[in-house]
Structure 1
Amino acid sequence: MKPANFYAALFLLSFSTLVLEIVETRLLSVISWYHLAFFVISAAMFGMTAAAVWVYIRRDRFTSATLPNDLSRFAAAFAVTVGLSLCLQVSLAPAMVFSVSTAIVFAEMALAIAAPFFCAGVAITLALTRSPFPVGRVYAVDLAGAACGCLGVIAFLDWLDAPSVILLTGGLAAGASILFARSAIDPLPQIEGALAGALARPWAILVIMVVVAMANGLTLHGIQPILVKSTTERRDASLVYEKWNSFSRVTVQSPPPGERGRPHLWGPSPTLPADVLVETKNVVIDGLADTAMFRFDGDLKQIDFLAYDVTNLAYFLRPGERTAVIGVGSGRDVLSAWRFGSRDITGVELNPIVVGLLTRDDLFARFAGLASLPGVRLIVDEARSWFARTEDRFGIIQMSMIDTWAATGAGAFTLSENGLYTEEAWRRFLDRLSDRGVFTVSRWYGSGAVNETGRMVSLAVAALLDSGAERPADHIFLAASGQVATLVLSRQALTPGDVQILRQACARYEYSVLLSPQGDPASEILAGIVRSGGRDALQRYTGALEFDLTPPTDDRPFFFNLLPFDRPQQVLRYFSSYRGVAGGNVTATLTLATILLVSVVLVAVTILLPLRGAVRHAGTGLVLGGTLYFALLGLGFMLVEIGFLQRLSVFLGHPVYSLSVVLFSLILSTGLGSLLSESLRLEVGRGRLVLWSALLGGYLLSAPYWLSSAIAAAQGAHILARAATTVAMITPVGVMLGFGFPTGLRIVQAIDPRPTPWFWGINGAAGVLGSVLAVSVSIAFGISMTLRLGALCYAVLIPVSLALTSKAAPMADHRAR
């Protein structure tokens, strides 16, 4: 084989495989919810593991002589199945309904996602096990391609929409197929059959996939999801704009020009005049997070209606103050600050598409009118990072109904980490207030059931206690209108005059006062929260309630999950209810359980059952010890990977950045560890195995203690600096993780090589199932506990590996004789 063509093909195939995996998480977060990103990781791992099993079962079919042909055909198959998989995914509706049909839909989704990874896995397995080139070099090229794919996906998604990028990965895979074919010294033999004939034409596949991808990116009516968040997607004349990037899909729905309607307000006052009509465009993020863009040409009368929204209550207290808005959206909160007299307004928005609509896209910028307002600046940045860097102080910091990367609804964020609703974040925001400044936050509210509002108040009390406030209740005012409650959180205690102003505004606009320094709380739960005597008392009280209202932290940043996962018997009570917050939380929890069930069935049927023959003639001790070793290895690796993904998602500002950077770091560093294990063999001495497990376990156990400090020190840095910090934190643990798998393989092969495929399958199966466990543990007990469990897995490896090496030594002596 020609090495240059072979290595280039392998690099391209690995590159496209990782691009596909990450883009699939973006597509699924639009079709369903972001928290299903781990489902994509599991499905991809399942496909790759099943491929390795299939190669083992069909091992007589693959030889060195047929290798170029086999590699080319399976790379071409990867390209074709990418397109077929996409077409199936966009037509599925992975909604959570309590029925067998839901499990079938998720099984279909898992198989559709896994199919391309199966084809890629066959090619990569063959490249690693059948090629005439050094395994270390082949493995290095494979990892280099995968690592570059982790970063390349961000550029692709800033250029094309997710479905088009998926199709483009098929074109890249077809390019790999061409290069594999050209790596052969002799011409490839002709293979009969229509399918084989089609796969033998990678040039045609490449052209088709690239042309379709480019064409799809130029139209609003191409291959796109039909059902988004269980609702049929509207793609009629009202859809005037659509753009994707690495962490969102933004669409704009526009009524006919000049059409006016009632303004969409979060918490409208009952006193809003009935004759108020405005021109509006609807900006939608990821299919459900909608925000209204109002027409504004500078006439304040056009936006007078904004005074009738409870989310703007704080402006009555501090009118005209310097203002910062977290999450600009389509500009509503910036207009609110302008309406109340502020002429120094900073809007911090994570999504550059949204800022582009308001400032650079002429059609929308002229409609919204923000770009022409003096004193208004819109900054594209992650809010926590920007506030950590700036020295500015503000009279008002507003965060209204902000969910970081989509909308709350039907459990959208139940399993998602969110960095804007943690104690650490709110302490940062309070630090950036002027002496008399206020931080105002609005969240969903249900009369008689405080739920999400209660957790918001709990978070406010915790942040105040951490900031040194002696009586948090004196700093808090809470009012509600309809289904929205607004918190006004003052850095200093609210004065009687402040309270009077807020109460007069509530009386004028008929808002309900829920909490006030002067007056009784509207509910016993709110009273118990604000009157907690200290941080420990607050934790005990909120942790013992029917819903989990404990204040979220960066270690447990699941603000939107209110089900107490640490009390399973309590969670079971809500499984018959689909109403309110409990219904959304139950929906997401049932989704998690369904995915676990589907994963168990698929793993058993496609991995474990086909490999059971591999252990038939092996000794019981080897089978049990090896199974335990590789199960712990796969489970521990997934616990560590998911733990770091969740923790660093808060640090990097978005899950896609976390996925790209963490996977990049892990792939490169574990690859380096695997290569180092060839020269620094742990199995030659028991002391080395013990030292390796102790160092790895110690690093993971210590991570929760130093990780927070390292993140806090770099929180204000640019995204590139934060990414570099992430790489530096991940690399040591990745290198140590890379020793585990090759070391284990060498140990069991020294005893008996026959059950090796079984152990490979066990490792993959444990990884597939471990992702569900990792998510559950993080929600219930915190991300630190997930990392500690990962450390425990590697600690238990010490006696298991020592037992295996004791069996391997006599076998090695026997062969030497």
Structure 2
Amino acid sequence: MPQNVQRLPFYAGLGMVTAATLMLQIVETRIISVTSWYHLAFFVISIAMFGLTAGAVWVYLRPRRYRPEELSYHLAAASLGFALSTVLALLVQLTVVTSLPASVMSLVVWAEFAVVLSLPFFFSGIVVSLALTRSPFPVGVVYGVDLVGAALGCLGALVLLNLVSGPSAVLWIAVLIAAGGLLFAQAGLGSIPADRTVTGRLFRHRGVVLAGLALLALGNSLTEGVRPTVVKDQIEHPERIAFERWNSFSRITVGQPAVERPALWGPSPHYAAAPIEQRWMNIDGGAGTAVYRFSGDLKELDFLRSDVTNVAYAIPGLQSGAVIGVGGGRDLLSARLFGVPEVVGVEINPIFIDLLTRRFADYTAIGRLPGVSFEVDEARSWFARTNRTFDIVQMSLIDTWAATGAGAFTLSENGLYTVEAWRIFLERLTPTGVFTVSRWYAPGEVNETGRMVSLAVATLQEMGAADAKRHLFMAASDHVATLVTSRAPLSDEALAALQGAADANAFKVLLRPQRPAASPLLERIVSAPDREALDQATGGSYLDLSPSTDARPFFFNQLRLDRLFDQDVFSLASRGGVYGGNLSATLTLAILILISAVLVAATILVPLRSTVGTGPSALVGAGTLYFALIGIGFMMAEIGLLQRISVFLGHPVYALSVVLFSLILSTGIGSLVSERAPLDSGGRLIGWAVLTSLYLLLLPAWLPEILLRLESANLLLRAGLAVVVLAPAGFLMGFGFPTGMRLVGAIDETPTPWFWGINGAAGVLAASVAVLTSIEFGIDTTLRIGAVCYLLLPLPALVLLRTVLQPQAAPAQ
């Protein structure tokens, strides 16, 4: 019987490997957000599942190679392969250009990217499969260690990302994996074969491998030699970067100083200013914000009066202000320049506050400016929590260019552009206060401008405004439009001041009370008396201009799939901006689904097809349907909850960590409970399926209200609530897989690998489809599809159960 000297190293090694697997998955989403686009974070989930399933299939198909008598050797060797392939995948990933135009070459590049990224997870799948199927220890305990390690990895990723850069985090994860391999070897489970292959050499030199990886990780943490080469399709030049820091939110770089024309978002046509010294702060390589050299004399910043983003400051009597998204501090400086005595900057990313108040305090005096204060918090939560009210709240181009340029299926700022969020902001205004938002504007097009206006109209309607147009003023210059939304109808004095500022700077007035809007579509939107009329007004555009909500928080995606071919697609796509970016992102998603399907078929379904060749047709058909349904249902629920929780917590990486942590633990507990309380009768199967379906189906009915009521809670409490919401869903869904395996195993164990593969394949493909479903139809629809999948489970499950019970009924006949 195995002793503690074997058991403890085995458990410790398994916990390290499974923790590293989840850490790698989460850290990869952060790196991909820098090198490519935010929406590809979901691709990591899909590829990780694919790699893990492919690794398990590899073990199943090679029983003679992976013998229990050599378990420690194979576990250690696979762990070392996991560690080294993690480094290899990182190096390749940092040099691949993924945003080629949709073509055969882009298909090849994405296929290469998918294969390389899946390789580490393939080795992880081998380790976990061997541990569960070959070890001499109780399966329940092994499974429990697997789950605990994975859950801790979800939290460990956040800690690691706040200590080192993304690439260094991956290298330290490789060290953790290699250390797990050494512990597997120390467990001494079985003999060591005389293997002269590369695998054997790796095993014999495992200590050297660990030491080499540790030195590489330490060296990179100090020098950052392994760093992104291609960032948002551009070659990055390290010599142009004066400062760089990563955290779980972003990667911030600060460029070298340059003497040039002051950077403005929407400069007046009359704008003329002497060159000044400024730097560019860059967020994830795709969003720049200028920080000006500023000694503390506001007269140095007089050029800010010529920016259309500041038109609302023309309103007289503004005494208090708030800025959402501090960035380089230009909006805070604008508020003080226009005479607002007190202004607070609310910034989710602490790196910006540290740069402005400490590290670059000698470059900009904003941190020492009287009347300026900072709050490090997610804006929605802070505004919901504070008792303060403001005469003006400003939010200028809070999106990162990744959002506009690539359709941005998900990123933290999405939660700032919903009806629910804008209502929170408007409710924190004084009775005559204004909320000013600046977005990209394309002359002759409505695009983001139209959606911004429809969002304001919908919010005002919810707050009881009888005539939304009386609350709105919008001016544009160059490629930026600024919408001023007042809580009360704009006074004659405020309107005269806004119009005067627009005239003085030659800004184009797109919208104001008592005058027709600049376009018939805008006029229909602002004149809509209720939500039904607003939906009719926005429905006439080839773009999706409907107001975004927490249930469909994709403000930056304006592509309407139902009207995709009503227009000259290629002509519109060539314009770039909103439509071109959205179309490019959607085509990329389609390519990723195609690649996933091909990989799944080639490495999972085709190799396992032989296992069902001789099985009973009822078993094969019902079993395939059952495991496909739980694969699709689980992934639809996971992605839907991930998107909903992302808006609530304020950032996708937090949401990913919390959702995975909650679902891993609760699903594992559900699986273990299913052993003691099996679903071994038709009544139990139907009851479980209905209960699971009802929970998912009713989530959209009660969850949004709960989340809004607790919007003001701190991050820890909001994360705790997310766990409480997710745990019942995970617990109930955890019954599905083991129940199915028991049913098919009782009939014929031969095809069980096929069903395992079907489950993994369905999950891989459903991850990308779930993203597309949420964008087009809303998160609630994604959750409902998951609920329907579980509701349909009794159909194949009862066929399997009847087949299991048939042999017992035969003697009585």
Shorter chain as normaliser: what TM range?
A: over 0.9
Change (3 A) 1:407 1:345: farther
Indicate the residue corresponding to 2:783 in structure 1: 787
Indicate the residue corresponding to 1:161 in structure 2: 165
Q: Find out whether 1:498 has 2:494 as its counterpart.
A: yes
Q: Find out whether 1:20 has 2:15 as its counterpart.
A: no
Q: Is the 8 A contact 2:509 2:518 kept in 1?
A: yes
Aligned residues: 807
Indicate the residue corresponding to 2:9 in structure 1: 5
Change (3 A) 1:35 1:576: same
Q: Superposition pairs for residues 541-556 of structure 1, below 5 Å?
A: 541-556=537-552
Distance 2:336 2:808 in 1: 79
Q: CA deviation at 1:191?
A: 2.1
Change (3 A) 1:164 1:322: same
Indicate the residue corresponding to 2:254 in structure 1: 252
Q: CA deviation at 1:85?
A: 0.8
Distance 2:572 2:429 in 1: 45
Q: Find out whether 1:336 has 2:330 as its counterpart.
A: no
Q: Is the 8 A contact 1:389 1:716 kept in 2?
A: yes
Deviation digits for residues 384-412 of structure 1, max 9, x if unmatched? 00001001000000000001x66444215
Q: Find out whether 1:243 has 2:245 as its counterpart.
A: yes
Q: Find out whether 1:582 has 2:585 as its counterpart.
A: no
Q: Which moves more between the two structures, 421-430 or 222-231?
A: 222-231
Distance 2:514 2:337 in 1: 29
Indicate the residue corresponding to 1:627 in structure 2: 624
Change (3 A) 1:808 1:288: same
SS of 1:115's equivalent? helix
Q: Is the 8 A contact 1:181 1:188 kept in 2?
A: no
Q: Is the 8 A contact 2:316 2:497 kept in 1?
A: no
Q: Is the 8 A contact 2:77 2:199 kept in 1?
A: no
Q: Is the 8 A contact 2:71 2:189 kept in 1?
A: no
Q: CA deviation at 1:84?
A: 0.8
SS of 1:558's equivalent? coil
Indicate the residue corresponding to 2:798 in structure 1: 802
Q: Superposition pairs for residues 363-402 of structure 1, below 5 Å?
A: 364-402=360-398
Q: Is the 8 A contact 2:407 2:557 kept in 1?
A: no
Indicate the residue corresponding to 2:286 in structure 1: 288
Deviation digits for residues 571-618 of structure 1, max 9, x if unmatched? 884587331321111100101100011111111111111111000110
TM-score, length basis structure 1: 0.97
Distance 2:644 2:9 in 1: 40
Q: CA deviation at 1:114?
A: 0.5
Q: Is the 8 A contact 2:46 2:763 kept in 1?
A: yes
Change (3 A) 1:50 1:374: same
Q: Is the 8 A contact 2:326 2:332 kept in 1?
A: yes
Indicate the residue corresponding to 2:187 in structure 1: 183
Q: CA deviation at 1:223?
A: 1.1
Q: CA deviation at 1:414?
A: 4.5
Q: Find out whether 1:134 has 2:130 as its counterpart.
A: no
Change (3 A) 1:812 1:671: farther
Q: Find out whether 1:410 has 2:405 as its counterpart.
A: yes
Q: Which moves more between the two structures, 68-77 or 195-204?
A: 195-204
Distance 2:468 2:216 in 1: 59
Change (3 A) 1:654 1:408: same
Q: Superposition pairs for residues 161-310 of structure 1, below 5 Å?
A: 161-184=165-188, 188-220=192-224, 222-236=225-239, 238-255=240-257, 259-273=258-272, 275-310=273-308
Indicate the residue corresponding to 1:713 in structure 2: 709
Equivalent in 99, 110, 116 of residue 114 of structure 2: 110
Change (3 A) 1:190 1:572: farther
Q: CA deviation at 1:188?
A: 3.3
Q: Find out whether 1:529 has 2:525 as its counterpart.
A: yes
Structure 2 counterpart of 1:97, one-letter code: P
Q: Find out whether 1:74 has 2:74 as its counterpart.
A: no
SS of 1:554's equivalent? coil
Structure 2 counterpart of 1:704, one-letter code: P
Q: Is the 8 A contact 1:415 1:561 kept in 2?
A: no
Indicate the residue corresponding to 1:518 in structure 2: 514
Q: CA deviation at 1:186?
A: 6.4
Structure 1 counterpart of 2:405, one-letter code: A
Q: CA deviation at 1:713?
A: 1.7
Q: Is the 8 A contact 1:574 1:586 kept in 2?
A: no
Change (3 A) 1:289 1:814: farther
Indicate the residue corresponding to 2:432 in structure 1: 436
Distance 2:811 2:485 in 1: 74
SS of 1:284's equivalent? strand
Q: Which moves more between the two structures, 189-198 or 222-231?
A: 189-198
Q: CA deviation at 1:413?
A: 1.4
SS of 1:794's equivalent? helix
Distance 2:217 2:711 in 1: 37
Distance 2:605 2:402 in 1: 40
Q: Find out whether 1:98 has 2:116 as its counterpart.
A: no
SS of 2:430's equivalent? strand
Structure 1 counterpart of 2:246, one-letter code: W
Q: Is the 8 A contact 2:16 2:176 kept in 1?
A: yes
Equivalent in 747, 761, 764 of residue 765 of structure 1: 761
SS of 1:527's equivalent? helix
Indicate the residue corresponding to 1:657 in structure 2: 654
SS of 2:260's equivalent? coil
Q: Is the 8 A contact 1:32 1:228 kept in 2?
A: yes
Q: Is the 8 A contact 1:751 1:811 kept in 2?
A: no
Q: CA deviation at 1:187?
A: 6.4
Distance 2:665 2:401 in 1: 31
Change (3 A) 1:799 1:302: same
SS of 1:692's equivalent? helix
Change (3 A) 1:513 1:28: same
Q: Which moves more between the two structures, 287-296 or 802-811?
A: 802-811
Q: Is the 8 A contact 1:319 1:340 kept in 2?
A: no
Indicate the residue corresponding to 2:614 in structure 1: 617
Alignment gaps of 5+ in structure 2: none
SS of 2:663's equivalent? helix
SS of 2:510's equivalent? strand
Indicate the residue corresponding to 1:84 in structure 2: 88
Q: CA deviation at 1:195?
A: 4.2
Change (3 A) 1:815 1:224: farther
Q: Superposition pairs for residues 59-70 of structure 1, below 5 Å?
A: 59-70=63-74
Q: Is the 8 A contact 2:646 2:655 kept in 1?
A: yes
Q: Is the 8 A contact 2:249 2:651 kept in 1?
A: yes
Distance 1:199 1:319 in 2: 74
Indicate the residue corresponding to 2:693 in structure 1: 697
Distance 1:550 1:223 in 2: 43
Alignment gaps of 5+ in structure 1: none
SS of 2:223's equivalent? coil
